[in-house]
Structure 1
Amino acid sequence: MPLDLSALKNAPRLLVEADLKPVQGTRFQPTGFPNLGHAVYESPNGGGKMILVESAQSMANRLEAVCWDERADDWVAPLRGLPVVKVLDEAGAPLTNSVLEAHRLNSPYILEGKDRRVLDVLKTRLAAMSQGRVDLRELARVLLEFDVNALLHGVFLAKSDLAGGRLRLPRALSAFIEADGAQVAASGGVKNDSVDPSGDTAKGFGNVPFARDEWTAAKIVAYFNIDLRQIRAFDLGDAVERLLITLALFKIVTLLSDGLRLRTACDLDVIAVRVVRPNDFVLPDASALQAELPASIEAVAETGAFGTERTHTVTYRK
């Protein structure tokens, strides 16, 4: 039976929250930032400290990672047939791809090498935007042929010869994890050298004591936001709209089911999941989404929206 998405028809966004807890014990290691460390801030409701457990940019990467089968160098089975740009090294071995690259389609391995096949197509297709306002609907149509995922993740084509570096789409799917009632769990240890405890530590010898800060929290929550209004604004037709929403739901459900080992010392379990808005929408389970996606992908392919080929390949040469 097809998924019932009727409750989303007039909703501007879909908001989902998931309560989390450490798999074992009470401590967890939040994300850290250069020159900042952990992102700690006061709770707006006066409940003490809060801490950012996982940032929006890191969660975007994790939502992509659950879509890719590294061993097969392809989308995971339910997503096979979606467009993607693959990058090979000079020996013809897989190097990277537009799903996993930090800047997705704007990856230097795709646009900055000697193989200009993708860049030249983008320049030709987007040439009309070199002056005047950027047509985001046309940009979305072009991106759909190279990597559907870019329409959810967002993209910034920063090259000056692509409309002066003005081509960008914000995220249609965003997420983050934060903890409330957070407290430091300070600990430490020693790297022991049983052979030469007083050896030169600069060279890796000797005993080296170290401090370690983990955290506990009264509540850890993952937040997910699908911007349905933005997806509809792409004006790509009902089949594409349905595919994008289903793909976004697949990412969320799959991440929550088996993608929450964020770090060695940050492995989380899901306690409860709820749809906050619209509150009459029931989040589909993984099996329903996996069953829906292949037919949804082929429905879009039949419209011609994926173009003539779904896997674009470039060879990266400096």
Structure 2
Amino acid sequence: RLEAVCWNEADDCIVTPLAGLPHIVVELAHGHTTSSIQEAHRLNSPYIINDPTLHQAIIDAVGNPESGPLDIRTLARAVFQRDVGAVLHGVFLEKVAGRLRLQRLLSSFIEAEDITPVTSGGVKLDRVDPSGDAAAGYGNILFSRTEFVARRIRAYFNLDCATMRGYGLGEAAQRLLTALSLYKVLKVLDSGLHLRTACDLDAQTLTVTRPAGLTLDVALLADIEQTLPTLITACGFGAHAVMRLKAASAPRKRARTSRNSPPEDATPEEGDAE
């Protein structure tokens, strides 16, 4: 959800306050697209990292990815220039090398207390034939369902500033990553709490535990949205911050065969041939 609030589903592009933020867009077959913001594994998505140019660019940036000392700062800079969100949410580039990993800087979870089941029911009405054959989908059909409520539901968010500073990306990058993190958190609390059907939550209070004395409010979201374009420009990404790739077709699954079926390339045994 922290990534979903950054994407405009209606226009299939990054949201306006984040225009110019580095990410990768991939052209798929039949006019479809995906992006490093939408993909579960971000840069390590097979639609992205299997691009030979990008794959080699990561290797060139970090040096020998398989052996020798690995400078995590070099990896962080390489990822930051291509997908800022992957620095915040972490990425494991195992398709390049098994040790190219950035841990999460921004993490979150939701926890409920004193959970109670709630049972309710209803009926599927058949306006034409209420007594029709239910097995065939006709007639009125009664149903019951069990849902759950809680006395208190809390969302927790954590930003690892120490690890962020350790990446050595510079002050401008740290300001952008911090503002982007706050944008994501406040945006989720403001409009991203429709977790699933019949589960719409509203944030009641927002408390900062560390650092002490800091206060946050969803009302700050508008100010952060106005500040983000300036912070993005200050990082000097340039006019080509959005990388566009064309994905190769995904390999098709092999058709299942029965255990006793011979392989397709098998030849008939002697005596079986006509």
CA–CA distance in structure 1, aligned partners of residues 200 and 116 of structure 2? 18
CA–CA distance in structure 2, aligned partners of residues 205 and 310 of structure 1? 56
Q: Residues 142 and 206 (structure 1 numbering): CA distance in 2 closer, same or farther, change over 3 Å?
A: farther
CA–CA distance in structure 1, aligned partners of residues 230 and 32 of structure 2? 28
- Give 1:90 deviation, angstroms: 3.5
Q: Which has the higher strand share?
A: 1
Match of 2:46 among 81, 105, 108: 108
Q: Secondary structure at the match of 1:72?
A: coil
Q: Which residue of 1 aligns with 2:115?
A: 182
From the CA coordinates, give the structure whose radius of gyration is larger: 2
8 Å contact from structure 2 (residues 92, 102) kept in 1:
yes
CA–CA distance in structure 2, aligned partners of residues 64 and 188 of structure 1? 35
- Give 1:119 deviation, angstroms: 1.9
Q: Residues 119 and 208 (structure 1 numbering): CA distance in 2 closer, same or farther, change over 3 Å?
A: farther
Match of 1:123 among 53, 59, 62: 59
* Pairing 1:1-318 to 2, within 5 Å after superposition: 62-91=1-30, 93-112=31-50, 115-159=51-95, 162-163=96-97, 165-192=98-125, 195=129, 197-200=132-135, 209-283=142-216, 285-301=220-236, 306=237, 309-318=240-249
- Give 1:199 deviation, angstroms: 4.3
Q: Secondary structure at the match of 1:277?
A: coil
Q: Secondary structure at the match of 2:204?
A: strand
TM-score normalised by structure 1 residue count:
0.71
- Structure 1 residue identity aligned to 2:135: D
CA–CA distance in structure 2, aligned partners of residues 243 and 220 of structure 1? 30
- Aligned residues: CA RMSD: 2.1
CA–CA distance in structure 1, aligned partners of residues 146 and 134 of structure 2? 27
8 Å contact from structure 1 (residues 73, 94) kept in 2:
no
* Runs of 4 or more above 6 Å deviation: none
- Structure 1 residue identity aligned to 2:190: S
- Structure 2 residue identity aligned to 1:274: T
8 Å contact from structure 1 (residues 145, 307) kept in 2:
no
The structure with higher relative contact order (CA 8 Å, sep 6+) is: 1
CA–CA distance in structure 2, aligned partners of residues 218 and 153 of structure 1? 30
Provide structure 1 residue ranges, at least 5 long, that are not aligned to the other structure.
1-61
8 Å contact from structure 2 (residues 134, 141) kept in 1:
no
- Number of residue-to-residue matches in the alignment: 245
Q: Residues 104 and 209 (structure 1 numbering): CA distance in 2 closer, same or farther, change over 3 Å?
A: farther
Q: Residues 154 and 207 (structure 1 numbering): CA distance in 2 closer, same or farther, change over 3 Å?
A: farther
CA–CA distance in structure 2, aligned partners of residues 73 and 120 of structure 1? 28
8 Å contact from structure 1 (residues 88, 313) kept in 2:
yes
8 Å contact from structure 1 (residues 86, 94) kept in 2:
no
- Structure 2 residue identity aligned to 1:240: A
1:162-185, CA deviations, whole angstroms, 9 ceiling, x for partnerless residues? 22x221112111111111111111
Q: Which residue of 2 aligns with 1:34?
A: none
- Give 1:274 deviation, angstroms: 1.2
- Give 1:187 deviation, angstroms: 2.6
1:240-283, CA deviations, whole angstroms, 9 ceiling, x for partnerless residues? 01110010000011111111111121001111111111121122
> Once the two structures are aligned, what percentage of the paired residues are identical?
44
Q: Which residue of 1 aligns with 2:272?
A: none
8 Å contact from structure 1 (residues 200, 206) kept in 2:
no
Q: Which residue of 2 aligns with 1:8?
A: none
Q: Residues 136 and 210 (structure 1 numbering): CA distance in 2 closer, same or farther, change over 3 Å?
A: farther
- Give 1:74 deviation, angstroms: 2.5
